[in-house]
Every structure is written in structure tokens, then in C-alpha cells.
Structure 1
Amino acid sequence: MAAFSALDPLPARAAEPIIEILELPEAKTLRSLQETPYLSESVSAGKLPPVAERLPATPQVVPRGSAQTVGKQGGSIRTLITREKDIRLLVVYGYARLVAYNEELEIVPDILEKVEIEDGRIFTFYLRKGHKWSDGAPFTTEDFRYYWEDVANNDKLTPSGPTTALTVDGEFPKVEVIDAQVIRYSWSNPNPFFLTQLAGARPLFIFQPSHYLKQFHKKYSDPAQLAKHVDKSNARDWAQMHNRKARQYRFTNPKLPTLQPWVNTVKPPSTRFIAKRNPYYHRVDEFGQQLPYLDEVILSVVSGSLVPAKVGAGESDLQSRGLNFSDYTFLKENDERSGYDVRLWKTVRGSQLALYPNLNSKDPEWRKLFRDVRFRRALSMATNRHEINQVIYYGLTIEGNNTVLPASPLYHQEYRDAWAMYDPEAASALLDEMGLTKRNEEGIRLLPDGREMEIIVETAGENTEEADVLELIHDSWREVGIKVFTKPSQREVLRKRIFAGETLMTMWFGYENGVPTADMSPDEFVPLHQQSYQWPKWGQYHETSGKSGEPVDMPLAQELLELHIDWTMARSKDEREKIWHRILQIHADQVYTIGIVAQVPQPIAVSSELKNVPVDGIYNWEPGAQFGIYRPDRFWLDQ
């Protein structure tokens, strides 16, 4: 079985400043820009300037992704959403960001032309000269200044002050406007979270369209005119009105200028939303065609239970939301008749489902057992992952621990395999070594206090998948003398029981991000949050600054906390990568959670006419924005 030797020391930190520059490779010489057919009539009528005047001086030339082709402009596609608020997917899928992940999960400039980073704490942003909002107004550092000074630090608009996402050790950034295209954010200590927050599926917005919003701001608007705006908006006061109109992520205000590829044109409530191309979008292809290729995206609101049937009937051109692996067979039976293709992308949680032994359980006997690494290793080796993979997932998943996946640059095979091979004999030997040798007449082992070793695994009871997996685990753990009972309950009830230490073990999803890079936070692997069900009270202690919960009292878990601090203070990617590997080594060896299988396929239904949607991809919220990293502005219709 895997065992890890003493960990190597971290490299000494350099005394000289470390300067990193994020900049896209120099673009190939563009062919002459081509006017977009959809907009040509408006250009001819003088309602819009020609394409050369709509684009930044240096537009982003989007390279073709793997197996992508140069497309044709035009057409509209349909997709289904299950609630009105999901019009925000236009921001998620559109994925225009100051900086963004590419397909290799590297952070690169997008809306920004260049980023300079000094010592991981000073960030200088260079905007593209001539970049415009969707209404044609200039996009400049005034939009950043307006957000920071007039919104984030205005006690009427933001009573609690600027978001804590912008703090480092309680310190807000120093914001310096250098000129119309250059702005700088700096902290006393490194801020490794800043760029990843800006690149997120739900990004941190540090700018707002000031030219539009100033009319709704008390500082800039005529009092009488402002009062009329408030009355028309049915708002309580000017601050509530301003905040409603400024929701860039929710995308509910059709008049709010945007930098996304498509602009929502329908104000809620509605069951059908139409998003039209942004005439001033900053990306082009190498042939001088302004992106997006698609003119329109139409979102229709339907009941979640109807999504598979409507996709099967050909009523969606691009669909993932509302579809599950269990729908795959039905979708394949109808794909040829309804004119779509079904692809299976890999989900990238650390494990589809995982078992979380509660190291903070109130039961003293079980707490002692769960804190003994031999017991956790025995449970892991007693889990027949291969059987679960074959019986439930048709052999399409990868087996092993709840850890990083092969698509992560941090991946090592031993992280996934350590103590995860099915070996009931070795598991029994470990249990015997712990002194758990007494059994009842049914062969069930006994706890030191004489109780039968019966583990109650609690679930949210929201699907049959959990029950099916636990039934197979019940059989394999029974072989080593441990009995499993399943207890489903409502999600909120379950969480309260976990936080209170009343659960023994929980089945839940594995780590959300199974494809991290060194620059992404390792906080999921560290006892920082009570939502980490293997150590909820330790997480609660951290979240409340010691006012509730329990302090970490196991040496290696304490080391994880120290490593997290080191990561936040690291000044280079190499340093952060070294820290990440130490964290992953500890997790693999200590088996704090018991992973089962990962990369359960996500069905993606794609119209036969829609091109440049990858055949193989990863499907994830963070990082990935589901379709976002594959640049849907490059998807096109071959009609």
C-alpha cells in the first residue's frame, strides 16, 4: 500500500521582486476586417459605425481551439432553462472576463490586453485602447474608478463596505488610476485569489458602466430627475434603484451595457429571452470576422422534468443543464430523428460521490476510530470501486480517491491510488491491528464498548444514485465485519446534524474542483469551512474566528492550515505548486475522505448544424464555466 516519506522543504523565498507578465502571444497579421452581415444594414443606415470603428485598436484574435474551424457569421440557437434567473447563463457561457481560463486552465488576458504582477501583490491592468461597451460608449478606467469610489465605498449602495473578496488579511487594495487605459491594484501582502476571482464562472466585477449608471447615482444626477427615475422604478430609494439596474451577473436589465458577446433584450418576467450579438464585442477570428459567430441565443423557460423530453424532440440546439447521465440512453434513441448529437463530457469533481467520516463526531468511540488513520485506510480498501463503476456507471468512470484528476497539472497517479485498491484482506488486517477483533454471531465486529460496528451513512436523499452506490458499499464492507445503514434526510436537516457533530458519516459530492492548477486556492483540502463534512467543527472554528466549533487538534490537519497560509503568502507559481503537492500528499496518505469514482459523463446535446462544440470536454462550474472555456462565441451554424 502507498505510504509517503517525509516531505521536502519548501524553497527559500527570493529577495528580489518577482515580476510576472500575462500577455497573449502576438497575433498573426489580420486579414482585412469583414463587416458582420447581421449588422450591415444598420451600418449602411448610419445607425452603427463600421466594424473597424467598433473594435478596439488591438482586438483579441481568438485562436481556434482543438478541432475548431473558422466559422460563418449568422443564425440563432435555442437552449432551455428551468428558471427565469438562469438568463445569467448568458454571462456564464459568454465568458468575457478581464482575465479568463483557456482550455489548458491557464489564466490569460481577455478583456484586458496585458497584466503585470509584482510579488503576487501588485497588479497593473492594461485596457485595450478603443474598447467600447455594447452601446458604443468607451470602456475605460473611469468604469473601474466609478465602481470602487462611488459604489463599493458608498455606504448607501454598499452598506457593509467593499466585498471581502478584495481583502488580504483585512486590508483593501490601494487603487490607482494611472491613465484612461491603465489601473493598478496593490496590497501589502500577496493576493493569490485576485485573478482567479476575476476569471470565475460568476466573476468578481470590479467595474461598472459609469456612463449609464451615473444618471441613477445621487452624486451625479439632478435631484428632480433622480426622483423621477426612482418613482418610475418603483424603488424604495435611489440606492435600491441603482443596485437593481447595475446587476451585471443577473443580466436582468436589457438597458445595462455589457462586454459579453450577446446582450439580453427581454426584461423579466418572461418565458422566452432573446439575446442578440454585441456590435462592439472585442474578439475577432484570424480572418477578421467579428465574434460571436451566432447572431442570437434564445432561452426558453421550461419545467426541469421536461428538459430531456424536449431535447429528445429536437427543441434545443445546445443543452447540458437539466440533463443527467441517466438520460443518455433516451437521448441516443432520438438523436438521429431529431437532428442532434449526444456527447459525453467528463465531469471534474474530485469524486462523483464520496464518504465523509466525521472527525468531529460527538460519539467518543466513533470519533476515536475515525481519527485513527488505519481505520480510514481500512474503509477505503474495503470499498469495491471497480464493482461500483461497472454496475452503476457502465465502466465509464475512473476509480480512486477524492483528489485531483488527470486533467490537472498537479495530478500524480499515487494521489488517486493510495489506499484505494480493493483489498478486503488487507483491510481486515488493519482492523485487527487496531484491536477490533471481537465479533458477534453474525460476524459483525464490536466497538471497544461492546456495541456492534454499525455505521450510519446519512445522505440528502435527493437521488437514487446515492442509494445504489451505498447498497454495493454495504456488501463489500460487510465482508470485513462492518455493517452499513443508510439514513436519508432533507438537505438542510442533514447539514445541521453534520455541523452539530451528530452524524457519523455522510455521503456527499466530492471536491468541487478536481482540476486545480497551482494558482487556484487549495481551501477545499484544508480545514477552513464547516461545509467540509469530514471536519465541520474545525471549519466552523476558523469561519467564526474561534467563537464556535473546535480548534484543529490533529498534527497533520494543523499542518494543512499552515500550508494554506504559506500558499497565500507565496510570491511565485513554483512556490505555490510545491505547497499544493504537499497538501495532496497528506490527503492521499491520510484518507480524510473516501472517494469512489470520478469523471461520470455529462450528456451534452448539440444540434447537427452547430459547429466547434468540442466532442470531448470537461464539464465544470469552477473552473470552466461549463461551456465558457471553449469560447461559445466561436460556435457557429452550418446551414
Structure 2
Amino acid sequence: MSRPANFFLLSGIIFCAHILNASVLNAGALSAESPEPDYFSEQLASGKLPPMAQRVPENPLLMDETMNNLMPGTYGGKMNLLMGKDKDIRRMVVYGYSRIVGYNESLELIPDIVESFEVHDNKEFIFHLRKGHRWSDGAPLTSEDFKYYWEDVANNPELNPFGPSKKLLIDEQLPVVEFPDAYTVIYRWQQPNPYFLPALAAPSPLFIYQPKHYLTKFHPRYADPQKLEAQAKQSGKRNWAGYYLKKARQYKLTNPKLPSLQPWVNTTKPPAERYVFKRNPYFHRVDVNGLQMPYIDEVIINIVSSSLIPAKSGAGESDLQGHYLRLDNYTFLKEGEKRNDYDVRLWRNINGAHKALYPNLNSSDLVWRELVRDTRFRRALSLGVDRHEINQAVYFGLTNESNNTVLPDSKFHNIDLQRRWAVYDPERANRLLDEMGLTERNSKGLRLRPDRKPLEIIIHSAGESTEETDILELIHDSWLKLGIKIYSKPSQRQVFRERIFSGEAMMSIWSGIENGLPTADMSPAELAPTRQDQYQWPKWGQYYETKGEIGETPDMKEVQELFELNQSWRRSIDLSEREQIWTKMLKNFCEQVYSIGIVNSVPQPIVVNRLLRNVPEKAIYAWSPTSYFGVYHPDIFWFATEQQAK
């Protein structure tokens, strides 16, 4: 089947993008050829549900044109998942991955909820909705839902006292938003906004629409304000705004009555030990045979202690499990494969470093701050890490020994940057420390700081993984050869973060760059001081986040360069220029060793029911940009019969 094409401007370059509109499978073809799910037989017979041709858009999204090697499936079955706490049910928005635009397997942005979109110089974004698309309760999805969100929610001072999401601000300016007809939505900025589409495609997406037909019942512009206030107090909320927000949580999924555009809809009110997500009868995707997605009727989420999830997965109690599993569970999980009818697959984690050390350049210990801001010191610490030993002892030799940088199959990968100051060389490390004047030692052989204190480093962790403990024990031994002693200090995550932000922490251990497979159109902000939760420079990141209200101004030349390059990337609409910026920032980031990466490409065990089809054998497992299972679309997963499996 040939694919129709839509041409749109992205970052100033013309790209050919597929309009995923299943033009062959129009409503008439569906009514004549497409079988209905047995799941809806009673509702169809009673007239509570219209036939499929009236439930899907005129041009539904044809999944066969979005996925590689898709095996058409059959309806039915219940998929069991395990989660560690009630709030984990929000992962069904991550996994369901119904987005205005979303990433495909090649990490290209393509239309999903919308039929097509146009981008002009990253300043104007025009979305064309699918005619006939409906919410999960059957109400039409139109530009009115986008207009309602913008006018009555995003810009309502009681619901959003600080205004619309910061993701919609560019140079402190909000977009002009227009709704020229029922199926067109336009966002327009004066300056380029390269963050907008990635925010719409994110695991926790930027929602720029809400179901107006449902939520106006809780909004004083449309409902009786006095009754709303009474309802709010009765529900335990202080005012109508708190009551409204409780009803409107599209990501948290705590209101089972809230209409949805996801493949499965929550039917269970929290708290609960078992959540039932039922198929959305109006979902907008179909396969080449005209079957409406999702194939699977229900997703059951069982809430259990997170520490029990590896054991329960090994007992066959989950049909699809990645969350709460680690590489050190792999041997145990493999042992249960045949006995409990599942396969264990190894997907890849795409962090630039699975674990990295973060010297705190904003430490409140001024002597330490001066030491750690000397590039030679950071390089010496990195050269003193025996990554090969850690790879063999902790990761069975299955990982890539590397700096905190992009992965080998990234366009921006450079073997020199991967190894820059990241190959074990204690002799060179000692020479660098001697160069700095750190030549005096105490009776235990520890180097002395300029204030005559022994060079002892406390490394803070969130205390959530024995893996970190194992890594730090090995680093402890190799850094002793440099005359440096380390101590690990685990604490609860919130305390851990506060110690870093305040400057109390000298160094911390955490995961590395979030996205190790970037494209030029993905933001390089992780490489510059842009957020407080960047543990190597929290106060510089805080300064950027708060527009200079709090935090500290970056005062290292190389860090200022990263900041300026990141700003240049935001303003650029030229692809080649963006590629050059990415290359320069990566070189700076690795050469200056702001963080000490250890290994990357760590395999992630994925437990898959032996009968579950269309789950990739090999794939990427990451929060962003792949939304864990999201870009592989669990709505196309289906259960084969025993006979089909033979």
C-alpha cells in the first residue's frame, strides 16, 4: 500500500511526513468489512454503542504505517501488569501513548491524535484534527476542547495562578492561539519554540485540551458557583478550583469518570489493590484489516510491594513487566521462563550513563568548591575509576564503559568523547593531582586539602539501590590509590535532593544524561545549567529556572559557553547549525568532566508473556523519549492462542 504524504516545515527544513490517515479504511469500508470486538457485543446489541464505522474518525490512524514488522492480531484477552503504588497507574498514560504528535520507533515526530500538522520556522504550529474523532464517552473531539482549555483553564487565575505552563513561554511571551474552525488549532509565537512539539510527545505530556462537555459541570463560568463551592467542601476541597483540578487529572487517572483519548480507560477509583482499565470504544487507531485498536480488551494493574515485583514477575504474574526490574534480576527471571510461560528480553537503557558521579560545583564548602572547579581534579577522579572492573563485577560485562555522553548508535557519538578522561589510568590521575599541588599526605596516605584536612569525599545517594553501593565500594578501592577516601551516605530521595540543592553535598551518584540518542531537533538543555535538579550545578540551574531571582550566576567560562550554546540552539531554525551546536556542547561537556560517567547501554530485563505478540525483541526502555513501552504502542500487542504459538 502506498503511503500518502504531508509536507511540513520543521526547524526551517522541509521534511516529508506521512499522513497516517488510513485513507483506504474509510468509515464505509469499516462498516462492511471489520469485525467488532466481542467485548462490546452486549452494548452493540442493546444500542448503547454505535457500530465501529461511527466510533472511529473518518480517517483513523493506520497502525501498519507507523510500526515496523507489525503482525496483524486478533481481539481479546486481559493483560496483567504489576505496579508498586497507586500513583503508578499514571503509567497507563505513558504506555498508552496517545498524543497530539508522538515519536515513532525512529524517534521522528509524527501525527497521532491529529491527522496532520504544519510547522513554520518553529514559530507557527497548525494542527488539523481528525473529523469524527471522539472521546471515550462518545462526545466529539473538536477545537472547542482546545479553546476551552486555553481560555477557561490555562488562563484562569484561580486554576493557574502563575499562568499557563512554562513550556508555553518563550522569552516570557505566551503564544497567540487561534481556532479558525472545528478541526483546526493554531499556536503562534514571535520567537522559535523548539520545545513545543517534544512537550506534546513527552511521557508526561503537555495537555493543551480538556473534555469541555464533561468539565464545564465543575467550572463556575458554566455551572452554579454556589453549588460548586458546596460540592467542593463536601469532597474535602477548599474551593471550586481544587475540586475542578481533582476532576480534571488527565495524567494521574484518579477520576474514572473523566473522558479519555487513551487506548484503555481507568474504571477504578483509587486507592485500590487492583485497577481495571477497559478498552476505549472510540479509540482512533486501526490495523490494516480494519480492526480497531487496542487488540487487548482490558489491562489489569495489581498493586504490590515494589520489592516483590521481581519475584512475582518470575512467577508469571505479569504479562508485560519492565518497571521495578533490574539487570541483577536477570538470572533469576531466566530460570522461571519455561516453568511460567514467559520470555525475558534484554532491552537497552538510553541514559548517557546508567550511573554517574556528580561533583557539586556549587558546594557550600569553599575549599572543596575550589578543588572541584579545577578541571584537573575532575579529570583525575574520572581517570581513577576502573570502569572495566565495575562492568565485569556489577554488570556481567554486558555494558559499554563510557563517559556520560551519547550512545554509540547516536548520530553525535564520538569514540574519543566516549573515552575522554574515562579510561582507567591511575598514574596519570596521580600526576594531575600532584600538578595541583596536592602532594602532602597524612599518616594513612591520604592527600591533604589546602586547608590541611584529609581528602575525604562523602558521596550522597538516594539509597534506593544496592547497585549504587556495589559501584561505590569498587570506586572506594580505586580512589584510595589516588590518596582519596570516599564514604557513601544514603538518604531518602527528598533529603538527598535538598542536601545537593543547599550545597551541603560534596558529590552525589545518580543516572546520567536522560536521552543518549538525541536528534538535532531535541533540546541539548541537559548539557547546560538549566535546571536545579542537575546535581553538578544545582544553584546555576536554579538561577536559570527562576530567571535570576534565586540561585547563582554561572561563573566558569566553559559553563557559560554551554549556556550560550543552548540559547543559540533555541533560536536556530537551521538543522546543520543545530547539529554543530550539539557537537560543540558534547565536546565541552565531556572534556570538562562536569559529571563522571561509569557505564551506559545497561540491559533492561523485560518479562513478556509467551503468547503476547508484537512486543519487540530488542528495543529501548527509557522514560524519554520512548515513554518506556509507549512508542511501541501496547494497543497493537495481542495474545496468540496456544495453537497459533506452535
> Taking structure 2 as the reference length, what is the TM-score of the superposition?
0.91
1-structure distance, mates of 2:338, 2:553? 58
Q: Percent identity?
A: 55
1:132-171 mapped onto 2 (5 Å cutoff) = 132-171=134-173
1:77-476 mapped onto 2 (5 Å cutoff) = 77-221=79-223, 235-440=237-442, 442-476=444-478
Residues 1:159 and 1:428: Cα distance change in structure 2 (over 3 Å): closer
- TM-superposed CA distance for 1:635, in Å, is 0.4
Q: Which among 553, 556, 561 is matched to residue 554 of structure 1?
A: 556
- TM-superposed CA distance for 1:144, in Å, is 0.2
Which segment is superposed worse, 168-177 or 484-493?
Answer: 484-493
Which segment is superposed worse, 173-182 or 534-543?
Answer: 534-543
Give CA deviations for 1:278-329 in whole Å, capped at 9, x if unaligned: 1111111122111111111111122222222222222211112222222222
- TM-superposed CA distance for 1:164, in Å, is 1.9
2:543 paired with 1:541 = yes
1:55 matched to which residue of 2? 56
Partner AA of 2:63 in structure 1? V
Residues 1:405 and 1:141: Cα distance change in structure 2 (over 3 Å): same
- TM-superposed CA distance for 1:530, in Å, is 2.6
2:29 paired with 1:36 = no
Q: For the Cα contact (< 8 Å) 2:426–2:481, is it kept in 1? A: yes
Residues 1:539 and 1:222: Cα distance change in structure 2 (over 3 Å): closer
Residues 1:597 and 1:185: Cα distance change in structure 2 (over 3 Å): same
Residues 1:84 and 1:487: Cα distance change in structure 2 (over 3 Å): closer
1:5 matched to which residue of 2? none
Q: For the Cα contact (< 8 Å) 2:22–2:60, is it kept in 1? A: no
Q: For the Cα contact (< 8 Å) 2:124–2:189, is it kept in 1? A: yes
- TM-superposed CA distance for 1:256, in Å, is 1.5
- TM-superposed CA distance for 1:179, in Å, is 0.7
Residues 1:270 and 1:491: Cα distance change in structure 2 (over 3 Å): closer
1:11 matched to which residue of 2? none
Which segment is superposed worse, 613-622 or 388-397?
Answer: 613-622
Residues 1:217 and 1:327: Cα distance change in structure 2 (over 3 Å): same
1-structure distance, mates of 2:240, 2:93? 26
Q: For the Cα contact (< 8 Å) 1:316–1:607, is it kept in 2? A: yes
2-structure distance, mates of 1:227, 1:538? 43
Partner AA of 1:50 in structure 2? P
2-structure distance, mates of 1:484, 1:311? 36
Q: Which among 569, 573, 579 is matched to residue 577 of structure 1?
A: 579
- TM-superposed CA distance for 1:160, in Å, is 3.0
2-structure distance, mates of 1:218, 1:113? 33
1-structure distance, mates of 2:243, 2:261? 22
2-structure distance, mates of 1:132, 1:25? 17
2-structure distance, mates of 1:544, 1:422? 39
Partner AA of 1:36 in structure 2? E
Residues 1:68 and 1:498: Cα distance change in structure 2 (over 3 Å): same
Partner AA of 2:59 in structure 1? T
Partner AA of 1:213 in structure 2? L
Which segment is superposed worse, 65-74 or 220-229?
Answer: 220-229
1:519-530 mapped onto 2 (5 Å cutoff) = 519-530=521-532
2-structure distance, mates of 1:504, 1:231? 47
SS at match of 2:246: helix
Give CA deviations for 1:175-211 in whole Å, capped at 9, x if unaligned: 1111111110011111111111110111111001111
Give CA deviations for 1:494-539 in whole Å, capped at 9, x if unaligned: 3333233333222222222222222222222111223222122222
Q: Which among 595, 598, 605 is matched to residue 597 of structure 2?
A: 595
2-structure distance, mates of 1:409, 1:124? 29
Q: Which among 619, 631, 638 is matched to residue 629 of structure 1?
A: 631
1-structure distance, mates of 2:146, 2:283? 19
- TM-superposed CA distance for 1:96, in Å, is 0.3
Gaps of 5+ in 2: 1-8, 642-646
2-structure distance, mates of 1:568, 1:306? 44
2-structure distance, mates of 1:233, 1:503? 42
SS at match of 1:79: strand
2-structure distance, mates of 1:551, 1:232? 48
Partner AA of 1:319 in structure 2? Q
Q: For the Cα contact (< 8 Å) 2:21–2:60, is it kept in 1? A: no
1-structure distance, mates of 2:182, 2:510? 48
SS at match of 1:133: coil
- TM-superposed CA distance for 1:217, in Å, is 2.2
Q: For the Cα contact (< 8 Å) 1:531–1:539, is it kept in 2? A: yes
Partner AA of 2:368 in structure 1? W
2:46 matched to which residue of 1? 45
Give CA deviations for 1:124-178 in whole Å, capped at 9, x if unaligned: 1111111111111111100000111111122333333222221111111111111
2:19 matched to which residue of 1? 24
SS at match of 1:596: strand
1-structure distance, mates of 2:323, 2:509? 23
Q: For the Cα contact (< 8 Å) 1:133–1:259, is it kept in 2? A: yes
2-structure distance, mates of 1:282, 1:175? 25
Residues 1:223 and 1:444: Cα distance change in structure 2 (over 3 Å): closer
Residues 1:367 and 1:121: Cα distance change in structure 2 (over 3 Å): same
1-structure distance, mates of 2:273, 2:319? 17
2-structure distance, mates of 1:221, 1:537? 45
- TM-superposed CA distance for 1:26, in Å, is 7.2
- TM-superposed CA distance for 1:78, in Å, is 0.9
Q: For the Cα contact (< 8 Å) 1:95–1:260, is it kept in 2? A: yes
Q: Alpha carbon RMSD of aligned pairs, Å?
A: 2.5
1:6 matched to which residue of 2? none
Which segment is superposed worse, 404-413 or 386-395?
Answer: 404-413
Residues 1:472 and 1:236: Cα distance change in structure 2 (over 3 Å): closer
Q: For the Cα contact (< 8 Å) 2:20–2:115, is it kept in 1? A: no
SS at match of 2:336: helix
SS at match of 1:537: helix
Partner AA of 1:331 in structure 2? L
Partner AA of 1:55 in structure 2? V
Give CA deviations for 1:312-350 in whole Å, capped at 9, x if unaligned: 222211112222222222222222111111112212222
Q: For the Cα contact (< 8 Å) 1:120–1:572, is it kept in 2? A: no
Gaps of 5+ in 1: 1-13
1-structure distance, mates of 2:413, 2:545? 29
Alignment: residue pair count = 625
SS at match of 1:455: strand
- TM-superposed CA distance for 1:236, in Å, is 4.5
SS at match of 1:616: coil
1-structure distance, mates of 2:234, 2:47? 32
Give CA deviations for 1:472-497 in whole Å, capped at 9, x if unaligned: 11222222333333333443333333
Residues 1:258 and 1:512: Cα distance change in structure 2 (over 3 Å): same
2-structure distance, mates of 1:586, 1:373? 12
- TM-superposed CA distance for 1:71, in Å, is 1.1
Residues 1:547 and 1:176: Cα distance change in structure 2 (over 3 Å): closer
SS at match of 1:563: helix
> Taking structure 1 as the reference length, what is the TM-score of the superposition?
0.92
Which segment is superposed worse, 105-114 or 575-584?
Answer: 575-584
1:491 matched to which residue of 2? 493
Q: For the Cα contact (< 8 Å) 1:121–1:186, is it kept in 2? A: yes
Q: For the Cα contact (< 8 Å) 1:216–1:229, is it kept in 2? A: no
- TM-superposed CA distance for 1:591, in Å, is 0.9
- TM-superposed CA distance for 1:20, in Å, is 6.3
- TM-superposed CA distance for 1:254, in Å, is 2.0
2:644 matched to which residue of 1? none
Q: For the Cα contact (< 8 Å) 1:340–1:607, is it kept in 2? A: yes
1-structure distance, mates of 2:255, 2:443? 68
